[in-house]
A and B are shown apart, each in its own frame.
Chain A
């Protein structure tokens, strides 16, 4: 038998038919929706009087524009937001799909709750009209983001017409240094190979530094595959994956579980399989990272100097960097540790799971957020919030001076409602530092939750080393 990559195996299992010239009709096992884009997909289907082919495999949550303040209702500060929430609820009921409403104990950010519920499983295809669906590739599933029309297509036909991407392997060898996380790995990778580095590829992450990550960190790594320009990211399932999934609500049981385990054994790249492209990185060289610009590829190790665009040969890249520095209010050659911050945000589908909150909590414990810094923690799901509270993490955050919120996307993105202020500087555990992403002209610096916590305490950009090395 031919040697295949994990990606090819996943693709072949779901191939309904070839459409010619590299385009295939691919079977979709699960669809997930949220109120921001899913509402429109459901409405589009209803308007055309099309029905869902398999409503039982479609799920929907409320996460994007729902308020995250305690005691929340359908009211939100986002203009027109209430209509998005209520239309979604109504359409979800009419379509007969499983719906995680506000107040449901399973509610949360789509890419956090899908794994919690074991709706995503190794070997499945899963799509969602949301670009960070690639997060779920951490389970050895083929999971990717689509537009609303494609989501309609998937619901009406259980398939998608997809151009087959090429396969890339990214190997992280070695061991991460203390205080360096999956977030730093992915930022390092994008910094080195640019935000378009994986355009046209499905990326498989491998190597000892990847297999030693727990599931939550693997999700962080895959989450930003889209920021690397990839079709999606995948990690081969192993015992870590299986231990995470076993016994969760939608995980197969009994004989089905046994058969699934057998199938999943084959979900790995064959020894002799050939990738279209391969990147190898020595993970032990990676340091805590921080972005200096307005895309995730404009990133550097904390403690190094902001690059100078003037000698850049590529004129587009030079102009882009100059524009970004202007927007961010940063000069070339600067050390970012000098910069005072206005905000600190821990949340989003990148870094808002229990382990993220624990790591941040370790830094915050017994310390106080610097004066003038608005610090917010938004757990990724209602379940994360409950677990964190059971462990007393909420107290640590609140005692340090953090706001402790209900789960949702919150200020990961600014939809016209709640936000950080005009030109405020924010260190954030999210995935996008685009212009005005977190507020009007807000200046976002992406980093790990540890870095966000340390920066909140010191009131300026700082790696956790500055606090934990005993210097303070």
Chain B
């Protein structure tokens, strides 16, 4: 996983609430047993005019040239709710997004972000709306800077915003850790737990 440090990038405001993972990547776009090949399917239901073609819908913000290289997504509450499909995160990452700002996230989606180096930032709706208003005035020029080490979002002419993130999640993203490797380092704790548990809950361990 690529470590996340600091980015300066164009932001794309998709200011809808409850954007579910079926919308982020429709099931029909998951064509292979693979974590890749999903970028083109991102927001397919909104991005293309119909399902059978790839004719782009110019009204959808992702197709606006001003945002073509956006790396930061701004959205409303409960972003990524619904299906657990990690494909939603793989698609966002493959498309080029590195951070998502929303007032809240679907909880499985949030964890999927951390597993894949995509930074989910929780901020108040009012602050995100403020940023979105500023971004749309001139998306190319009004680029946001996200500094994960300092947990600060800033931009020219706007105040800096502090954001919170769980220290373990921050560490994972900063170092680009593989979560499984990390846990495998605590094998002895797991083994100790299992030994005790086998005695305490024999019925649960009788498979």
For residues 317 through 364 of chain A, which have their beta carbon under 8 Å from a beta carbon of chain B?
A: 317, 319-320, 323
Q: Is the CB of B22 within 8 A of A87?
A: no
Residues of B within 8 A of A195 (CB): 18, 78, 81
Residues of A within 8 A of B31 (CB): 79-80, 416
Number of A-B contacts (CB under 8 A): 188
Residues of B within 8 Å of A, CB-based: how many?
A: 59
Q: Is the CB of B111 within 8 A of A29?
A: no
B186 within 8 A of A: yes
A368 within 8 A of B: no
Q: How far is the CA of A316 from the CA of B23 in the complex (A)?
A: 17
Contact pick for A16, options B83, B179, B190, B203, CB 8 Å: B190
Q: How far is the CA of A297 from the CA of B111 in the complex (A)?
A: 24
Among residues of A, the one whose C-beta sits closest to the C-beta of B207 is A56
Q: Is the CB of A131 within 8 A of B84?
A: yes
Residues of B within 8 A of A13 (CB): 201
Q: How far is the CA of A123 from the CA of B106 in the complex (A)?
A: 25
Give 20 A-B contacts (CB < 8 Å), ordered by A residue. Answer: A20-B168, A21-B168, A22-B166, A25-B183, A39-B33, A79-B31, A83-B32, A131-B83, A146-B111, A147-B84, A149-B86, A195-B78, A195-B81, A260-B203, A295-B20, A297-B18, A414-B27, A434-B22, A436-B45, A436-B51
4 A-B pairs with the lowest CB-CB distances in the bound complex, closest first: A416-B28, A147-B86, A260-B203, A147-B112
A383 within 8 A of B: no
Q: Is the CB of B189 within 8 A of A25?
A: yes
Give, as a whole number of angstroms, the nearest-CB distance from A133 to chain B: 8
Residues of A within 8 A of B16 (CB): 316, 319-320, 323
A143 within 8 A of B: no
Q: Is the CB of A263 within 8 A of B201?
A: yes
Given the known inter-chain contacts A163-B166, A195-B18, please indicate yes or no for A131 contacting B82, CB distance below 8 A: yes
Residues of A within 8 A of B202 (CB): 256, 259
Chain B positions near chain A (C-beta within 8 angstroms): 15-18, 20, 22-23, 26-35, 45, 50-51, 76-78, 81-86, 89, 104, 106-108, 111-112, 115-116, 125, 166-168, 179-180, 183-184, 186-187, 189-190, 193-194, 197, 201-204, 206-207
A307 within 8 A of B: no
Residues of B within 8 A of A145 (CB): 84, 108
Give, as a whole number of angstroms, the nearest-CB distance from B205 to chain A: 8
Contact pick for B27, options A27, A149, A163, A413, CB 8 Å: A413
Chain A positions near chain B (C-beta within 8 angstroms): 13, 16-17, 19-23, 25, 27, 29, 36-37, 39-40, 43-44, 48, 50, 56-57, 78-80, 83-84, 87-88, 121, 123-124, 129-131, 145-150, 152-153, 156-159, 161, 163, 165, 195-196, 199-200, 226, 229, 231, 250, 252, 256-257, 259-260, 263, 295, 297, 316-317, 319-320, 323, 413-416, 432, 434-437, 440
Q: Is the CB of A156 within 8 A of B84?
A: no
Extra inter-chain contacts (8) besides given A229-B81, A252-B203, CB under 8 Å: A13-B201, A25-B190, A27-B190, A131-B84, A146-B111, A156-B180, A159-B190, A317-B17
Q: Is the CB of B180 within 8 A of A36?
A: no
Q: Is the CB of A148 within 8 A of B86?
A: yes
Q: Is the CB of A320 within 8 A of B112?
A: no
Q: Is the CB of A434 within 8 A of B51?
A: no
Q: Is the CB of B33 within 8 A of A84?
A: yes
Q: How far is the CA of A240 from the CA of B194 in the complex (A)?
A: 30
Q: Is the CB of B82 within 8 A of A150?
A: no
Given the known inter-chain contacts A37-B86, A414-B28, A437-B22, please indicate yes or no for A83 contacting B167, CB distance below 8 A: no
Q: How far is the CA of A435 from the CA of B22 in the complex (A)?
A: 8
Q: How far is the CA of A320 from the CA of B193 in the complex (A)?
A: 47
Q: Is the CB of A159 within 8 A of B27?
A: no
Q: Is the CB of A434 within 8 A of B20?
A: yes
Q: Is the CB of A316 within 8 A of B84?
A: no
Q: Is the CB of B30 within 8 A of A415?
A: yes
